[in-house]
């Protein structure tokens, strides 16, 4: 999730913002199927979730596709329902792990803006087939677009039930 979250960052997460599911409490002690008292995630939320194929590990990514949305990456630009999401260059980034990357501000149709990294032109995730997000599922992307295991690859879309919490981090980073 670099540059939004960096190694060593702390964040706050609202544990029950999406309601309750078996993933809401440790060790699956809440014996329910589905989700209760839930509110729908919003486009651009940074969420903590569990992959269906790896229910023992927490992941954190940004929700960029809601049920029914058509998602596709074309030349490194996120397309939502066949419309390119606004993307503008804002600078450069480097760290011990990342030698050099472009920082870009991505603005979703709901007005939420955040920074993403583009390290490699033409990387495997820069061009994808279109995906229509199924009912009850969400399309997740990491903000470091060239180094993120997310819904573009084998993770696939994430069921609503698997969302654990919405991450609330430093406001000046999450929304620019």
pLDDT of 97-134, one tens digit each? 788 889 999 999 999 999 999 987 778 899 999 999 99
pLDDT at 21: 64
Burial of 16 (0-12, 13-18, 19+ CB in 10 A): middle
Can you tell me whether residue 27 is helix, strand or coil? helix
d(CA 165, CA 18): 6
Question: Omega of the bond prior to 3 within 30 degrees of 0, cis?
Answer: yes
**CATH second-level architecture of 12-174?**
Ribbon (2.10)
- 105 to each of 4, 81, 85, 176, how far by Cα in Å? 11, 19, 10, 8
Q: What is the pLDDT of residues 51-72, one digit of tens each?
A: 989 988 989 999 999 999 999 9
């Amino acid at each position: 999730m670099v540059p939004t979250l960096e190694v060593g960052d702390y964040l706050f997460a609202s544990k029950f913002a999406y309601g309750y599911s078996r993933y809401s409490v440790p060790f699956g002690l809440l014996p329910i199927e589905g989700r209760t008292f839930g509110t729908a995630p919003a486009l651009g939320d940074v969420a903590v979730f569990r992959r269906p194929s790896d229910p023992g590990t927490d992941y954190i990514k940004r929700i960029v596709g809601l049920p029914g949305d058509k998602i596709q990456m074309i030349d490194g630009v996120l397309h939502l329902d066949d419309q390119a999401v606004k993307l503008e260059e804002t600078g450069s980034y480097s760290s011990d792990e990342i030698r050099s990357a472009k920082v870009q501000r991505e603005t979703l149709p709901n007005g939420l803006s955040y920074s993403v990294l583009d390290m490699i032109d033409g990387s495997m995730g820069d061009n994808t087939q279109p995906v229509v997000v199924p009912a009850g599922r969400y399309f997740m992307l990491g903000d470091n677009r060239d180094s993120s295991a997310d819904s573009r690859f084998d993770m696939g879309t994430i069921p609503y039930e698997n969302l654990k919490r919405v991450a609330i981090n430093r406001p000046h980073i999450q929304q620019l």
